[in-house]
Amino acid sequence: MSKYECNHHMTGFLKELPKCEHHVHLEGTLGPDLLFPLAARNNVQLPSHFPKDVESLNKRYSEFTDLQDFLNFYYIGMSVLIQEQDFFDLAWAYFTKAHADGLHHAETFFDPQGHVERGVSIDVVVRGFERAAQQAEKELGISTRLIMCLLRHLPPKDGLATIESARPYYKAGTIHGLGLDSAEKPFPPHLFEECYKAVRDSFPEVGLTAHAGEEGGPEFITNSLDLLNVTRIDHGVNSFQDEDLLKRLAKNQTLLSLCPLSNVKLQVVKDVSELPIQKWLDFGVPFSINSDDPAYFGGYILDNYIMVHTRFGFDLKTWCKIAANGVNGSWISDARKKELLEKIDQVYTKYQPLIEA
Ligand code: HPA
Ligand SMILES: [Zn+2]
């Protein structure tokens, strides 16, 4: 299926290209190599049907049939996270790995309800993640944003209670966004109107996004825009089925956070070449390229960029446009945007003679 080569210089270019990640679940960076030691350290009993070692767990991860099949493992996986240090270690490992991939800005999701329902307080979760984010800013130069997601398979009133408990963190600017994840099709966006309104009314500066159009149709995207007032869509793959929607996304420059390897692993598409990337470029719909749950789907951000290159073979100008769209769609200051856009130009100037001369 690989139509285009990603040679040494092209890989160097994609690595150095300043990348922004907008769709990574911190709990989805928990790989089998950390899962078993943490289960032992915290005395967590894994279910009897759960694979017993790293190799068999990795094998099972290569066989996901759909989103729900993955989510069943994702929620068991996160059950080994108990102490503030666990959350710190997890996020710090992600930041260092992504930094080595050329990541400059990270907007990371987390799922407090997946922890609170096990008796781990939101304070423990947020403190661990916040400390890792601060260290990433200081030691790695990565700018960061923390986006709290609501689990759509839980009742919206549980979502409202979660928002209440997060109020101090929204107020302090520790949490910067609201998202919506978990099983999509049985739990459409309209269920969460009140939750989004609660955050919008109290914290108008907070960024709003929602998973939509991963397994759900384009109406999940339209309804997220109309009813939840989101300014970003996570996944958004099925937008390709509705040209009016594509025009709307382009007109408002609404960013889609695409996750190519995830879409293949969860059988949204058979191959990355089937993703509507060229259509989005033709319509002027901005998108970024992301890892979603890298420990489960076999690749971090650079692996996703490289996979897209092997299927679409974009020239450097197109890659710079994709990276710039990621910068412009980020929830960061204009000064930070300018800094990252200038870096993109520098990387282009360095690699253009090596690759396209
Ligand atoms: O891709 C996803 N979709 C929905 N819920 C999720 N939770 C983690 N990753 C995902
Ligand atoms: Zn996701």
d(CA 266, CA 289): 16
Q: Which two tokens stand for residue 304?
A: 């996703």
pLDDT in tens, 206-262: 999 999 999 999 999 999 999 999 999 999 999 999 999 999 999 999 999 999 999
> Which residue, 165, 176, 232, 233, is CA-closest to 203?
176
Q: Which two tokens stand for residue 53?
A: 């070692």
Residue 3 lies in a domain: no
CA distance 334 to 340: 10
How many CA within 13 A on the CB side of residue 270? Answer: 1
Q: Is 211 annotated as a binding residue?
A: yes
pLDDT in tens, 61-78: 999 999 999 999 999 999
Ligand 1 close to Cβ of residue 28 (< 6 A) = yes
Instruction: Judge whether 87 lies within some domain.
Output: yes
Provide DSSP, 290-314: --BSHHHHT--HHHHHHHHHHHH--
Q: How far apart are CA 289 and CA 287, in angstroms?
A: 7
> What are the residue ranges of helices labelled H in 103-251?
113-116, 122-135, 156-172, 193-202, 218-228, 243-251
Domain total for the chain? 1
From ligand 1's centre to the CA of 334, what distance in Å?
Answer: 30
Q: What is the CA radius of gyration of the chain?
A: 19
Phi, psi of 219 (to 5 degrees): -65, -25
Residue 74 CA: which ligand 1 atom is closest? 8
- The whole-angstrom separation of Cα 177 and Cα 207 is 4
Q: What is the mean pLDDT of the chain?
A: 98
Q: 258: helix, coil or strand?
A: strand
Q: pLDDT tens for residues 337-349?
A: 999 999 999 999 9
Integer Cα distance of 273 and 166 in angstroms: 40
* Position 142 in a domain: yes
**Positions marked active-site:** 214
- Alpha carbons 6 and 310: distance in angstroms, whole number: 6
- State the sign of the Cα–Cα–Cα–Cα dihedral 54, 57, 61, 67: negative
67 assigned to some structural domain: yes
Position 88 scores a pLDDT of 98
The answer to whether residue 250 is domain-embedded is: yes
2: in domain: no
Closest ligand to the CA of 70:
1
In a domain, 214, yes or no: yes
Mean pLDDT, residues 11-38: 98
Establish if 197 belongs to a structural domain.
Answer: yes
Find the mean pLDDT for residues 74-102: 98
Cα–Cα distances (Å) from 23 to 61, 181, 260, 281, 335, in that order, read 19, 11, 11, 20, 22
Pocket test for ligand 1, best of 23, 192, 211 (most atoms within 8 A of CB): 211
Tokens of residue 69, six digits: 């099949």
What pLDDT was estimated at residue 107? 99
Nearest alpha carbon to residue 222 among 206, 208, 238: 238
Q: Report the distance separating Cα 78 and Cα 305, nearest Å.
A: 27
Residue pair 38/90 in contact (Cβ under 8 Å)? The answer is: no
Q: CATH number of the domain at 209, please.
A: 3.20.20.140
Distance 21 CA to ligand 1 centre (A): 15
Q: What is the pLDDT of residue 2?
A: 79
Pull the structure tokens for residue 340. Answer: 């990252």
Q: Is the predicted pLDDT of residue 1 greater than 80, yes or no? A: no
Give pLDDT tens digits for 185-196.
Answer: 999 999 999 999
Distance 11 CA to ligand 2 centre (A): 25
At residue 357 the predicted structure's pLDDT band, cuts being 50, 70 and 90, is confident
Residue 296 near residue 320 (C-beta atoms within 8 A): no
CA distance 325 to 34: 34
User: Phi-psi bin for 287: left (phi > 0), alpha (psi -120 to 50), beta?
Assistant: beta
Is ipTM over 0.95? yes
**What integer is the mean pLDDT of 43-68?**
97
Query: Is 99 annotated in some ligand binding site?
Result: no
Residue with tokens 């109406």, as numbered in its chain: 219
| Residue 82 pLDDT greater than 90, yes or no | yes
Question: What's the domain range around 131?
Answer: 8-355
